[in-house]
Structure 1
Amino acid sequence: MINGVLNIYKEQDFTSFDVVAKLRGILHQKKIGHTGTLDPLAEGVLVVCLGNATKLCEMLTSDTKEYEAVLKLGECSDTDDIAGEIISNEGYIVPDEDTIRDAVMSFVGKSMQIPPKYAAIKVDGKKLYEYAREGKEVPRFERPVEIFNIDIHEIDFPFVRFTVKCSKGTYIRSLCRDIGDKLGTGGLMFSLLRRQTGRFLLENSLKLHEVEELMNEGTIEKAVLPMDSLLLDYPSANIKDDFMKYLLNGNKLHEDYLDISEEDREKILLGEIFRVYMNGNLAALYRYDRESGMMKSYKMFLA
């Protein structure tokens, strides 16, 4: 079984689940998961976890994302993108470039955002898009998001092309809808390309046919990144030889069982999740428990 991470370029019209299903056939293994779902319309970086790395999937959704998007003004849809049922607006005043630019840039910073009707967010155990497909209206509650930066590349009404760097949970479809609402023209997402998620960049991503070629050549290891490449921002420690048996059993660890740098010790004792290595290999993630004064296991990778 292959353990590690692949930086995949998800192509248009594939769902994120399609990518995982195809990779299971290419790599001949079932234990594969993805992080940060991309809509079928969207393209770009999809981080895929293999083998034991699937235990990290939920930890990666918090990464900052960067997208290149095209907004189309003057139209709306039930999905907030071009794939939905289109409603053309009439009677609006065509805004000038400065007005459009000001409206787009007004969304930089922290705000509350209402997700699209067709979203994977769950309400009472059911995904929003499932309610939408059944024609049912359910409350869509605002969620806090942050837009760190927007670069506007081109304004050619009705199209606006821009790059946005944002926090987890930000819907670019909702951003396009909200910009259109602010301008009074309506708006929807015409196209979307995810350029980055955390440390994973578009220029380093591989399409499925490229992964298949590497697999056929027997050189797939060139593309698979080690698990700890996902966790380089976390502090780390090495288990001392005399205490390896405690780690192997997933037991609590005392600070004295570990070799830790002073810089990382401070972070660890503040409660940050940290990496634990055994014989140079990532073995587990642990977290300091103030009540017991011990390190408790968070994720184990030895099995």
Structure 2
Amino acid sequence: MINGIINVYKERGFTSFDVVAKLRGILHERKIGHTGTLDPEATGVLPICIGNATKVCELLTDKDKVYRTVMHLGITTDTQDMTGTVKEDRSREAALLKEQTVEAAILQFVGDYEQIPPMYSALKVNGKKLCDLARAGIEVERKARTVKIFSIEIEKINLPYVTMQVHCSKGTYIRTLCADIGEALGVGACMESLVRTRVSVFPLEEAHTLAEIEKIRDEGTLEELILPVDRVFEGKTKLTVVPEAFRFLQNGNRLNDGNFTDVPEKIADGEQVLVYDPMGHFYAVYQYERETKDYKVRKMFGA
């Protein structure tokens, strides 16, 4: 059985569910999950969790992400991207904008930002997906959600097109960001293209297409692609239990400093630590509680 994460490059035309289905066939594994949807026309990083790594799917979905997008100023569509029906074309006006004006409008979105999710999205209202309602010609009121834009790097302005890299929090819709920037400029905008270049610690340059994964499987070197679960928790304190305490770890019992081979001098209250078995295998995530001076299990993975 495979336990770990594969950094997949999702190609254009595939849904995230398509990638999972195809990987099940390639790897002959049933327990597989993806870490957040990408639109079919979008490409880029899609970490796939396999075996006990599926326990971190939700965690990876919550991580910050980086996208490279091309915004088309002057074009407004019903889907906020170029796959939709054009509602208004003000490209000529957009082409006459000053670059400094465009740049200032874009950068004002850096920081916390109230974003209304698009109708063409997988979010549910009263149990129904917004995209299904949109296809039926029904538009419903959506509440604005606070998202965070950590940074926007403007790579190229060739009006009416703007290429930019956006580092953002979970739940951010880049096409809605493009539409909102266009509205701020008074000409409208939509998303021309989108590439996800990073999810947490998983970068684009280390991602593999499905064809590459299948070839590597046939060559018998698949294990080189399987990233360990603890890769997701880079930077956290690592603790190893002594042999005598392994049974406590197996049962998910509380642990104390005496159960580990060595403990740093200072661990903050509420800090999460990675716990390894005596053989050095990642086993669980625990959380330190200063009041009781011990560690409580947060998530078990097993060896």
* TM-score of the aligned structures, taking structure 1 as reference length: 0.92
- Indicate whether 1:55 and 2:55 are aligned: yes
1:59-95 deviation per Cα after TM superposition (whole angstroms, max 9, x unaligned): 1123221111001111112211111222123598432
1:247-270 deviation per Cα after TM superposition (whole angstroms, max 9, x unaligned): 11222223432345325x513xx1
What's the CA shift for 1:187? 0.6
**Mapping 1:1-303, distance limit 5 Å:** 1-90=1-90, 93-94=93-94, 95-262=97-264, 265-267=266-268, 270-278=269-277, 279-289=279-289, 293-302=293-302
What's the CA shift for 1:182? 0.6
Return the alpha-carbon distance in structure 2 between the equivalents of residues 78 and 239 of structure 1: 56
Identity of aligned residues (%): 48
With over 3 angstroms needed to count, the CA separation of the structure-2 counterparts of 1:273 and 1:136, relative to structure 1, is: farther
Return the alpha-carbon distance in structure 2 between the equivalents of residues 42 and 91 of structure 1: 23
Secondary structure of the corresponding residue to residue 267 of structure 2: helix
Secondary structure of the corresponding residue to residue 287 of structure 2: strand
Unaligned runs of 5+ in 1: none
Q: Is the 8 A contact 1:236 1:260 kept in 2?
A: no
Q: What letter is aligned with 2:271?
A: E
Q: Is the 8 A contact 2:44 2:195 kept in 1?
A: yes
Higher mean alpha-carbon deviation, 254-263 vs 159-168, is at 254-263
Q: What letter is aligned with 1:226?
A: P
Q: Is the 8 A contact 1:71 1:188 kept in 2?
A: yes
Secondary structure of the corresponding residue to residue 119 of structure 2: coil
Q: Is the 8 A contact 1:15 1:39 kept in 2?
A: yes
Q: What letter is aligned with 1:150?
A: I
Higher mean alpha-carbon deviation, 271-280 vs 47-56, is at 271-280
Secondary structure of the corresponding residue to residue 181 of structure 1: helix
With over 3 angstroms needed to count, the CA separation of the structure-2 counterparts of 1:266 and 1:288, relative to structure 1, is: closer
Return the alpha-carbon distance in structure 2 between the equivalents of residues 241 and 232 of structure 1: 25
With over 3 angstroms needed to count, the CA separation of the structure-2 counterparts of 1:260 and 1:140, relative to structure 1, is: farther
Secondary structure of the corresponding residue to residue 45 of structure 1: strand
Return the alpha-carbon distance in structure 2 between the equivalents of residues 213 and 296 of structure 1: 43
1:173-228 deviation per Cα after TM superposition (whole angstroms, max 9, x unaligned): 11100011011111110100111111111111101000000111111011111111
What's the CA shift for 1:292? 5.3
What's the CA shift for 1:8? 0.7
With over 3 angstroms needed to count, the CA separation of the structure-2 counterparts of 1:301 and 1:104, relative to structure 1, is: same
Return the alpha-carbon distance in structure 2 between the equivalents of residues 178 and 87 of structure 1: 15
Secondary structure of the corresponding residue to residue 132 of structure 1: helix
What's the CA shift for 1:121? 2.6
What's the CA shift for 1:290? 5.8
With over 3 angstroms needed to count, the CA separation of the structure-2 counterparts of 1:133 and 1:149, relative to structure 1, is: same
Q: Is the 8 A contact 1:92 1:184 kept in 2?
A: no
* TM-score of the aligned structures, taking structure 2 as reference length: 0.92
Secondary structure of the corresponding residue to residue 82 of structure 1: coil
What's the CA shift for 1:280? 0.1
Q: Is the 8 A contact 2:241 2:260 kept in 1?
A: yes
With over 3 angstroms needed to count, the CA separation of the structure-2 counterparts of 1:203 and 1:242, relative to structure 1, is: same
